[in-house]
Structure 1
Amino acid sequence: MSVTIRVFAEADTEAVLALWREAFPEYNDASRPHRNPRLSIANKLGTQPELFFVAIRNDGDVDGAIVGTAMAGYDGHRGWLYSVAVAPQARRLGLGTRLVRHAESALAAMGCLKLNLQVLTDKAEVLAFYERLGYRADAVVSLGKRLAVQESEAVV
């Protein structure tokens, strides 16, 4: 499969949403409003949009189809990797690895020395994928807190 990785463009929104809803079933759960993929895209476009990547298929009947994504961020101290997704028909062909390596290279070019990511504990296959790429569990506890956002501030 021939694929090009490039920076996300707003015209990619609907295709990315479709991919994410397929790759991340939790995005389909209305009881998890913090998993709003449209809001994730809007927020990323407001912060380091150059670190939002899409993989575009360049061959066959699906030329131009989005078959993968990766988002990254860098705060000057650590980098983060988010929303690495690969369409089912493009899995096990090295595309996930290419997306991760692309994001790693972009972060390294910014001076990033350490990259973090989080994986849901029930995603054993995803954990194994990252372990094959050299990622290891850090001796830390990941803490989180949901912050209330005024409805008028939320992008829909």
Structure 2
Amino acid sequence: MTHMPHMPQALDAPLAIRGFVAADTDAVIALWQHAFPEYREPGKPHRDPRLSIANKLATQPDLFFVATRDATIVGTVMAGYDGHRGWLYSLAVDPAARRLGIGTRLVAHAEAALVARGCPKVNLQVMPDKPDVMRFYDALGYRADPVVSLGKRLEAKQPEPVAES
């Protein structure tokens, strides 16, 4: 699969959503580095896209989806389910393909996969400086929960990053 950031896709080409495969790695990384600027920051090793892919392939790889149009990756989403709550991560759509319903379809696809596993609720986190992302999720029915998100970085052994193709 290829990915050419900022290249308009044929708007009439059908959109397909399928599971990630290793051959998608470079295209997904290119998309993520454009969609998530923090993935380009070498001072944030926990934001290494190759490591993120390796971690997902080690845990519920069947919940890692890509959207394609004309064999070009135009979007991604990852989901996870721990038996209690589901999570959505790394929803990204190529800027040239935004506002065409691709993100909405990716979220619906991931939600359906979680429902099929018996997941009763899905959570996600949005950086506070992204009001456009907040509006997107609000339009899909997501609301802020009355909770405080806490986190702690662990120095756990991580899978080896996916090799360059």
Pairwise TM-score range, normalised by the shorter structure? over 0.9
Amino acid at match of 1:155: E
Q: Which has the higher helix share?
A: 1
Select the structure with the greater relative contact order (CA < 8 A; seq sep ≥ 6): 2
Say if 2:79 is the partner of 1:72: yes
Q: 1:34 matched to which residue of 2?
A: 46
- Residue correspondences, number: 149
Instruction: In structure 2, list runs of 5 or more residues that go unmatched.
Output: 1-10
TM-score with structure 1 length normalisation?
A: 0.92
Name the % identity: 67
Cα contact 2:58–2:159 (8 A) shared by 1: no
Q: 2:37 matched to which residue of 1?
A: 25
Per the alignment, in what secondary structure is the counterpart of residue 108 of structure 1?
A: helix
**Judging changes above 3 Å, is the alpha-carbon distance between structure 1 residues 76 and 149 closer, same or farther for their aligned structure 2 residues?**
closer
The Cα of 1:155 is off from its aligned counterpart by: 1.8
Per the alignment, in what secondary structure is the counterpart of residue 18 of structure 2?
A: strand
TM-score with structure 2 length normalisation?
A: 0.88
Say if 2:25 is the partner of 1:13: yes
Instruction: In structure 1, list runs of 5 or more residues that go unmatched.
Output: 58-62
Amino acid at match of 2:160: V
The Cα of 1:148 is off from its aligned counterpart by: 1.7
Query: Residue 134 of structure 1: which of 130, 138, 141 is its match?
Result: 141
State the distance in 2 between where 1:18 and 1:89 align.
Answer: 14
Q: 1:89 matched to which residue of 2?
A: 96
Cα contact 2:67–2:106 (8 A) shared by 1: yes
The Cα of 1:31 is off from its aligned counterpart by: 1.4
Per the alignment, in what secondary structure is the counterpart of residue 89 of structure 2?
A: strand
Per the alignment, in what secondary structure is the counterpart of residue 84 of structure 1?
A: strand
Cα contact 2:77–2:88 (8 A) shared by 1: yes
Per the alignment, in what secondary structure is the counterpart of residue 87 of structure 2?
A: strand
The Cα of 1:12 is off from its aligned counterpart by: 0.3
Q: CA RMSD in A?
A: 1.0
Per the alignment, in what secondary structure is the counterpart of residue 136 of structure 1?
A: coil
Amino acid at match of 1:8: F
